Chains A and B, each alone.
Chain A
Amino acid sequence: MSDMSRPGVIHDLGYRHYDGLREGTPAIARTLFVTGLRHVYGLGRSGKSKVMPFLLLAMSVLPALIVVGVVVLTGLDSLPVSYADYTNQTQLLVSLFAAAQAPVLFSRDLRHRSIVLYLARPLSAPVFAVMRWLSLTVALWLFMAVPTLMLFIGAMLSGLDKSDQVTQLLKAVVLQTLLALLIAGITGLISSVSLRRGFAVVGSVMALIVLTGVVTAVQAIAAEQDADSASTTAGLFSPWSLYSGLANAWDAGIDTFVPVDGAWAVAYALVALLLAAACLLALVARFRKVGSR
Chain B
Amino acid sequence: MAVVTGERTGQAPVITTAGLTKHYGSVHALTDLTVDVGEGVTGLVGANGAGKSTLIKILLGLLEPTGGHARVLGHDIEHESQEIRRLVGYMPEHDCLPPDVSASDFVVHMARMSGLGASAARERSADVLRHVGLDEERYRPMGGYSTGMKQRAKLAQALAHDPRLVFLDEPTNGLDPAARNDMLRLVERIGSDFGIAVLVTSHLLGELEQVSDHVIVLDGGHLLRSSATGDFLQRTGSLLVEVVGTETERDRLGEALAQRGLVCRPRGAMVAIDPPPSELAQEGAAHDLIRDVAAELGLGLMRLQPDRGHLEDVFLDGAPRV
**Contact of B114 with A121 in the complex, beta carbons under 8 Å:** yes
The answer to whether A113 and B96 have CB atoms under 8 Å apart is yes
Residues from chain A with Cβ under 8 Å of B82 in the complex:
25, 122, 124
- A15-59: CB near B (< 8 Å → 1, else 0) gives 111101111110110011001000000001110000000000000
Tell whether, in the assembled complex, residue B92 and residue A18 are in contact, meaning their CB atoms are under 8 Å apart.
no
- Interface assignment of B277: CB less than 8 Å from any CB of chain A: no
Residues on the A chain within 8 Å of B4, using CB: none
Question: Are A20 and B92 in contact, CB atoms less than 8 angstroms apart?
Answer: no
- Are B90 and A120 neighbours in the complex by a CB distance under 8 Å? yes
Dominant SS among interface residues on chain B: loop
Cβ-defined contact, A22 with B98, below 8 A: no
Tell me the nearest residue of chain B to A13, going by C-beta.
B127
A114 in the interface (beta carbon within 8 A): yes
**CB of B271 within 8 A of chain A?**
no
Contact B194 A31 (CB under 8 A): no
Contact A117 B157 (CB under 8 A): yes
Contact call B116/A22, Cβ cutoff below 8 A: yes
Nearest chain-B residue to A20 (Cβ)?
Answer: B120
Given contacts A15-B193, A121-B114, A122-B85, contact A46 B100 (CB under 8 A): yes
Label chain A's interface by main secondary structure: loop
Q: Is the CB of A120 within 8 A of B161?
A: no
CB neighbors of A among B93-131 (8 A): 94-101, 105, 109-110, 112-117, 120, 124, 127, 131
* Contact call B113/A31, Cβ cutoff below 8 A: yes
Residue A119 CB within 8 A of the other chain:
yes
CB distance from B38 to the nearest CB of A (A): 19
User: Is residue B162 contacting chain A, with contact meaning CB distance below 8 A?
Assistant: yes
Give Cα A117 to B94, complex, Å.
11
**Per-position contact with A for B57-101: 1 when CB-CB < 8 Å, else 0?**
100101110000000000000000010011011101011111111
Q: Are A15 and B99 in contact (CB under 8 A)?
A: no
Of chain A, the residue at the smallest CB distance from B60 is A120
B158 shortest CB reach to chain A, Å: 8
A residues less than 8 Å from B90 (CB atoms): 116-117, 120
Q: How far is B162's CA from A23's CA once the two chains are assembled, in angstroms?
A: 14
Shortest C-beta distance, A37 to chain B (Å), equals 14
Whether A112 sits at the interface, judged by CB under 8 Å, is yes
Query: Are B96's CB and A116's CB within 8 A?
Result: yes
Please give me the residue from chain A that is nearest to B63 by CB atom. Answer: A292
Q: Give the residues from 177 to 229 in chain B that come closer than 8 angstroms, CB to CB, to chain A.
A: 189, 193-195
B115 near A27: Cβ-Cβ < 8 Å: yes
Which B residue sits closest to A24, measured CB to CB? B115
A156 within 8 Å of B by Cβ? no
B158-177 contacts to A, CB under 8 A, are 161-162
For A292, list chain B residues within 8 Å (CB): 57, 62-64
B73 to chain A, nearest CB (A): 14
Determine if A112 and B63 form an interchain contact, defined as CB atoms under 8 angstroms apart. no
- List, in ascending order, chain A residues with CB within 8 A of B127's CB: 15-16
- Residues in B neighbouring A23, C-beta threshold 8 A: 115-117
Known: A18-B120, A113-B94. A121 touches B85 (CB 8 A): yes
Tell me if A7 counts as interface (CB < 8 A to partner B).
Answer: no
Please give the distance in Å from A118's CB to the nearest CB on chain B: 6
Q: Is A291 interfacial (CB 8 A cutoff)?
A: yes
Q: A19 — nearest CB in chain B belongs to which residue?
A: B162
Question: Quick one: given A15-B193, A120-B85, A291-B62, are A28 and B112 in contact (CB under 8 Å)?
Answer: yes
Please judge, given known A-B contacts A23-B117, A122-B86, whether A31 and B95 are in contact too, CB under 8 Å.
no
Question: Which residues of B have CB within 8 Å of A122?
Answer: 82, 85-86, 113-115
A8 at the binding interface (Cβ < 8 Å): no
| Cβ B94 vs Cβ A112 within 8 A | no
Q: Known interface pairs A28-B112, A121-B114, A122-B114. Does A18 touch B86 (Cβ–Cβ under 8 Å)?
A: no
Partner of B92, one of A27, A44, A117: A117
The reply to whether B115 and A18 contact each other, CB–CB distance below 8 Å, is no
Q: How far is the CB of B194 from chain A (nearest CB, A)?
A: 4
- Is the C-beta of A262 less than 8 angstroms from some C-beta in chain B? no
Instruction: Verify if A146 is at the interface (C-beta below 8 Å from B).
Output: no
Complex: A35 Cα to B157 Cα, angstroms: 17
CB pair A114–B97 under 8 Å, yes or no, is yes
In the bound complex, how far is the Cα of B193 from the Cα of A20, in angstroms?
20
Closest to A29 in B: B113
> Which residues on B sit within 8 Å (CB–CB) of A121?
85-86, 110, 113-114
Interface string of A273-293 (1 = CB under 8 A from B): 000000000000000000110
The verdict on A171 contacting chain B, using a C-beta distance below 8 Å, is no
For B64, the chain A residues whose CB sits under 8 A away are 292
The CA-CA distance from A197 to B127 in the complex, in Å, is 34
List residues of chain A with CB within 8 A of the CB of B62: 116, 119-120, 291-292
Interchain CB contact under 8 A, A15 and B131: yes
Structural contact, B110 and A112, CB atoms closer than 8 A:
no
With beta carbons under 8 angstroms apart, the residue of A18, A44, A113, A114 that contacts B116 is A18
Could you list 14 examples of A-B contacts with CB < 8 Å?
Answer: A17-B162, A18-B116, A18-B124, A20-B120, A23-B115, A28-B114, A32-B113, A35-B112, A44-B105, A108-B98, A116-B96, A291-B62, A292-B62, A292-B64
Q: Which residues of A are interface residues toward B (Cβ below 8 A)?
A: 14-18, 20-25, 27-28, 31-32, 35, 44-46, 108-109, 112-114, 116-124, 291-292
Binding site for A on B (CB under 8 A): 57, 60, 62-64, 82, 85-86, 88-90, 92, 94-101, 105, 109-110, 112-117, 120, 124, 127, 131, 157, 161-162, 189, 193-195
